[in-house]
Chain A
Amino acid sequence: MLGLSKKDTTFLLIVIFLTMATPILLQPFPEGSAMATFNAGYPDLMQRFAIFGIFAIGFNILFGLTGYLSFGHAAFLGVGSYSVVWMYKLLDYNVLPGLVLAIITSGIFALAIGYISLRRTGIYFSILTLAFAQMSFNLAYSVLTPLTNGETGLQVYTDDPQILMGENAPNVPHLFGLVMRDSYQLDLGGWLFTFNIGYYFCAVIAILAFYLSLRIFRSPFGMMLRAIKTNQTRLNYTGLNARPYTLAAFVISGMYAGLAGGLLAAMDPLAGAERMQWTASGEVILMTILGGAGTLMGPVLGAGFIKYFENIFSKINDTMLHGWFGWMPDGIEDAILFVSHFFVGKSWHLTLGLMFMLVVIFLPGGLVEGAQRIGRLFRRRGRKAGGPEAEAARQRNPGPAE
């Protein structure tokens, strides 16, 4: 189906099902229960899962396949956001023209930055991309203020032209009248499920993005990109020119980033320069490595993981902790609270950092490798676990689980 093998079709169908059922799956605890804090099925967070999933999928096409570590992908995220808000200002609140423009402008940007940066490899490539991204960030704050509105951030004002704005058109981002922030809520017993239009819009685009990346992974083009990662000398002496291949991968992943940035502005009609800062570029690297660079699902898992921590662990405060541990004797409760302070609330970065260290040390292939190991553990007695990928992972990491 759709040019995919049977196995990949099943895989894609599972991904589609999981994406569509996210508002239910991420809401496992009843409203008002002590565990309700861990529910992640609210629109804002689910949108972020999908958007940063797209960002990471695109980044993985460059980093996971070719091994070129770009430290400047946040620049394309920012360019995408600005493009969408400009379309709001000039045309109307329909998100479609903005997203198309976001993909085009970020593609052109990536072509220019990639053309120069790809003259170098390894750390020099990373530094060049970092320099370009920081340059864009600083320009957005200073010289380019007429385009970016500087520190205030770009937003829509009442005196903007909005030439396509109809009489009854919604005053917030929408797709042909479907307002992004509208939701349908389903109350089932104690459970509350929110089905948000914005989320489903992002989800459909994320599935398309995932499908495209699946096709690239299985294509001769994807094979060439992996060949670049493993031995560029051999590639040259095999009659292939590595430069246009890496440039194409760079532009494709830049366009993914632009699309993700555009979607951020499609959910919330604002664009600020802080989106271009290097920490945002670092975040997508963390997502990809945490999930598993070079795997199909890894980056999406990594993105979900990091966004979950960012939004859920940072919310936990003293009142909640007291609610959970209040039944304990005072001394022990105080001790637990004291220790917890290092890991939750404002300190959630520490938890994330520890998780990242554990994954990198014990699961170099990321969360996907963890899942594969668990899968093999179950299948071990049945038939011999097959597939070249599993075989490769086993040869690289002869762990104690074998």
Chain B
Amino acid sequence: MGILEVKDVNKRFGGLQALGDVNLSVAEGSVHAIIGPNGAGKSTLLNCLVGKLIPDTGSVMFAGQSVLGRKPHEINQLGISRVFQTPEIFADLTVMENVLIPCFAKRDGAFRLHAFETVANETEIGEQAEAMLADVNMLEKRDMVAASLSRGDKRRLEMAMSMVQQPKLLLLDEPTAGMARADTNNTIDLLRQIHNKRDITMCIIEHDMHVVFSLAQRITVLAQGTPLVEDTPENIKGHPKVREAYLGEAH
């Protein structure tokens, strides 16, 4: 049993079958990649996992509990964190505040009227946030307004915000989209380092083969809404079906 179990998930948008009988199992502690050509249903699948979409049929179980019908904040409280394709951060707040908020969410739950406490006095949470910023090499930027960060820094900040919560599962939606090769390599190093240090299960949706083969231990190939194969990177590379559906077009 994996930490995330997707069983027979179907999703239709009008006449389009976006997902057809998707089965997926993500093992605890692993890095699992979902790849596939454009329009394969990768993002639809991800949206079904975080509560943005509800599948027509099938079940999504996370750590023994169904996530279907739960709101995004409830799913996060279960332990699933998400990183978006275009960074979603609190642009008007400082870098430090951006990381503090997930820490408070983790400690205090979805709502708490802590109107008479002071952020500056919460030393334990402050230290957590600082340690996380140090891990992503952004400690010296802690007082900068997040909107003024570079694109790459915004992405690193968003990852820091997700990872500081110590999620049981981290979902990454194309974490290197639109990055130059050097930035991509930095991101790969960062993810690998965080994965080893904090032992976070990751599920990566990615377009870039380089990223996938550098990080993933298991790969699921999605084509036209159905999983084609699931295997280790070595076997995927040479798989004839995958070449036909995906690599053949891309290379």
A residues engaging B (CB < 8 A)?
3-5, 215-216, 218-224, 226-227, 229-231, 233-241, 244-245, 248, 252, 388, 391-392, 395
- At the interface, yes or no: B118 with Cβ under 8 Å from chain A? yes
Interchain CB contact under 8 A, A230 and B115 = no
The smallest beta-carbon distance between B159 and chain A, in angstroms, is 13
Q: Can you report 12 residue pairs joining A to B where beta carbons are below 8 Å apart?
A: A218-B118, A220-B108, A220-B122, A231-B88, A234-B89, A234-B161, A235-B90, A238-B161, A240-B111, A241-B111, A252-B115, A388-B94
- Other than the given A234-B161, A239-B110, A240-B111, 12 more pairs (CB < 8 A) read A218-B120, A219-B116, A219-B118, A219-B119, A234-B88, A234-B89, A234-B90, A238-B161, A239-B76, A244-B111, A248-B113, A391-B144
The smallest beta-carbon distance between A394 and chain B, in angstroms, is 10
Knowing A230-B91, A239-B105, A388-B94 are in contact, say whether A223-B100 is a contact too (CB < 8 A): yes
Interchain CB contact under 8 A, A229 and B92 = yes
The smallest beta-carbon distance between A355 and chain B, in angstroms, is 27
Given the complex, which residues of B lie within 8 Å of A230, measured CB to CB? Answer: 90-93
B residues engaging A (CB < 8 A)?
50, 71-73, 76-77, 81-82, 84, 88-94, 97, 100-102, 104-106, 108-122, 143-145, 147-148, 161, 165
Tell me the complex Cα distance, A236–B50, Å: 11
Interchain CB contact under 8 A, B145 and A395 = yes
Interchain CB contact under 8 A, B115 and A223 = no
Interchain CB contact under 8 A, A223 and B101 = yes
Instruction: Give the nearest-CB partner of A395 in chain B.
Output: B148
Which of A218, A233, A245 has the most chain B CB atoms closer than 10 A to its own CB? A218
8 Å CB contact of B145 from A229, A240, A388: A388
Interchain CB contact under 8 A, A238 and B102 = yes
Interchain CB contact under 8 A, B72 and A237 = yes
The smallest beta-carbon distance between A12 and chain B, in angstroms, is 14
The smallest beta-carbon distance between B129 and chain A, in angstroms, is 12
Tell me the complex Cα distance, A107–B111, Å: 19
Given the complex, which residues of B lie within 8 Å of A236, measured CB to CB? Answer: 71-73, 76
Interchain CB contact under 8 A, A240 and B105 = yes
Q: How many residue pairs between the two chains, A and B, have CB atoms under 8 Å in the bound complex?
A: 121
Tell me the complex Cα distance, A6–B141, Å: 24
Given the complex, which residues of B lie within 8 Å of A216, measured CB to CB? Answer: 115
Instruction: Give the nearest-CB partner of B118 in chain A.
Output: A218
Tell me the complex Cα distance, A252–B113, Å: 11
Closest 8 CB pairs of A and B: A239-B76, A221-B115, A230-B92, A241-B110, A239-B105, A244-B111, A234-B88, A236-B72
Interchain CB contact under 8 A, B88 and A221 = no
The smallest beta-carbon distance between A131 and chain B, in angstroms, is 27
Instruction: Give the nearest-CB partner of B101 in chain A.
Output: A227
Instruction: Give the nearest-CB partner of A241 in chain B.
Output: B110
Given the complex, which residues of B lie within 8 Å of A223, measured CB to CB? Answer: 93, 97, 100-101, 104, 119
Interchain CB contact under 8 A, A391 and B92 = no
Given the complex, which residues of A lie within 8 Å of B145, measured CB to CB? Answer: 388, 391-392, 395
Which of B77, B100, B118 has the most chain A CB atoms closer than 10 A to its own CB? B118
Which of A3, A223, A238, A248 has the most chain B CB atoms closer than 10 A to its own CB? A238
The smallest beta-carbon distance between B149 and chain A, in angstroms, is 11
Tell me the complex Cα distance, A241–B97, Å: 18
Interchain CB contact under 8 A, B118 and A238 = no
Given the complex, which residues of A lie within 8 Å of B97, measured CB to CB? Answer: 223, 226-227
Tell me the complex Cα distance, A5–B121, Å: 10
8 Å CB contact of B73 from A239, A388, A392, A395: A239
Instruction: Give the nearest-CB partner of B147 in chain A.
Output: A395
The smallest beta-carbon distance between A385 and chain B, in angstroms, is 13
Given the complex, which residues of A lie within 8 Å of B161, measured CB to CB? Answer: 234, 238
Interchain CB contact under 8 A, B105 and A226 = no
Tell me the complex Cα distance, A239–B78, Å: 9
The smallest beta-carbon distance between B55 and chain A, in angstroms, is 19
Tell me the complex Cα distance, A3–B71, Å: 36
Tell me the complex Cα distance, A219–B82, Å: 26
The smallest beta-carbon distance between A63 and chain B, in angstroms, is 15
Interchain CB contact under 8 A, A245 and B115 = no
Interchain CB contact under 8 A, A231 and B90 = yes
Given the complex, which residues of A lie within 8 Å of B122, measured CB to CB? Answer: 220
Knowing A220-B117, A391-B145 are in contact, say whether A238-B105 is a contact too (CB < 8 A): yes
Interchain CB contact under 8 A, B114 and A391 = no
Given the complex, which residues of A lie within 8 Å of B121, measured CB to CB? Answer: 3
8 Å CB contact of B115 from A219, A237, A241, A395: A219
Given the complex, which residues of B lie within 8 Å of A245, measured CB to CB? Answer: 111
Interchain CB contact under 8 A, A224 and B101 = yes
Given the complex, which residues of A lie within 8 Å of B71, measured CB to CB? Answer: 236, 241
Interchain CB contact under 8 A, B104 and A218 = no
The smallest beta-carbon distance between B160 and chain A, in angstroms, is 12
